[in-house]
Amino acid sequence: MHRNPARPLSPHLTIWRWGAAMAVSILHRVTGAGLATVGALALVWWLVAAASGGEAYARFAGWASWKWALLFWVPLTWAFWQHTLSGLRHFVMDVGAGFELRTNRLWAWLVMVFAVLFTALTWAAIFFWKLV
Amino acid sequence: MKMVTPLGRARGLGSARTGAHHWWLERLTSVSTLILFIWFIVALFRLPAYDHSTIVQWLSQPLAAVPMILLIASTFWHLKLGLLVVIEDYEHGSLRLLLVILVNFLAALGAALAIFSVVKIALTGSAE
């Protein structure tokens, strides 16, 4: 598309007041991009290491169970839940439901709250069963 | 060069019948990825340990290897479609074609590496 740079663009992100629906939409993209890049990389590294033998696997496991690696795993877990719950919200909206302002805002907030809650529950479960 | 606007050129031609294809595949792969990740998380929680021999033994079972391969295919297909939408929304310059090609190639590379690894484990079992 050809665009005359001298002409103004329609108002974009900087001009809108923040709302829950806008935040969920942006977070869906950000978490999706994060899962698709670093998340996918971790999955591939894990499987390639497992197929490459004990030494390669120990290198992966050593990094994955390093205590500072939690700074990677916990945000990744949150990204997973945020993107998953947000995706479920998209299914509701795909059938044409949930577009009323109050309902839409409520669902957007619920997605963000439950993403944090499920992240906490996931890690509580991991530590409870002493899996790490 | 004809003096016709893009709208004028498209008007009257009817739809290409592929407008919703990307959208539909994105939804389809999101459902399959969700189902397979629920399986994956439950399976990981049920494993007694996460050392090399446990993982290899687990992935050498058909009922672990096959869902894992499906998970990889579904996930990489979904992430490719998603990343393409992001690129198409924000990048309009000459970088766009390069990024689209890169995402397609890297998604194929990642999926191939992961699937081959699972197949190797499944077929060679606990061989070191």
Q: What share of chain A is helix, strand, coil (3-state, %, to 5)?
A: 80, 0, 20
Of the candidates B113, B33, A80, the one whose C-alpha atom is nearest the C-alpha of residue A72 is A80
Interchain contact B114–A (C-beta under 8 A): yes
The 10s digit of each residue's pLDDT in A112-127 is: 999 999 999 999 999 9
- Residue A22 distance to chain B (closest CA, Å): 16
CB B88 within 8 A of CB B39: no
- Cβ neighbourhood burial of B28 (10 Å; 0-12, 13-18, 19+): middle
Interchain contact B30–A (C-beta under 8 A): yes
Nearest CA in chain B to A58: B52
Q: Which of A36, A57, A61 sits opposite B79 (nearest CB)?
A: A36
pTM summary value: 0.89
Nearest CA in chain B to A43: B114
Cα(B121)–Cα(B98) distance, integer angstroms? 35
**What amino acid occupies position B18?**
T
Chain B 77-96, residues with CB within 8 Å of chain A CB atoms = 79, 82-83, 86, 92
The 10s digit of each residue's pLDDT in B80-113 is: 999 999 999 998 888 999 999 999 999 999 999 9
**Model confidence at B8, in pLDDT bands (50, 70, 90)?**
confident
Per-residue pLDDT of chain A (132 residues; tens, 9 = 90+): 567 788 777 766 677 788 999 999 999 999 999 999 999 999 999 999 999 999 999 999 999 999 999 999 999 999 999 999 999 999 999 999 999 999 999 999 999 999 999 999 999 999 988 655
Judged by CB atoms closer than 8 Å, whether chains meet at B45 and A125 is answered as: yes
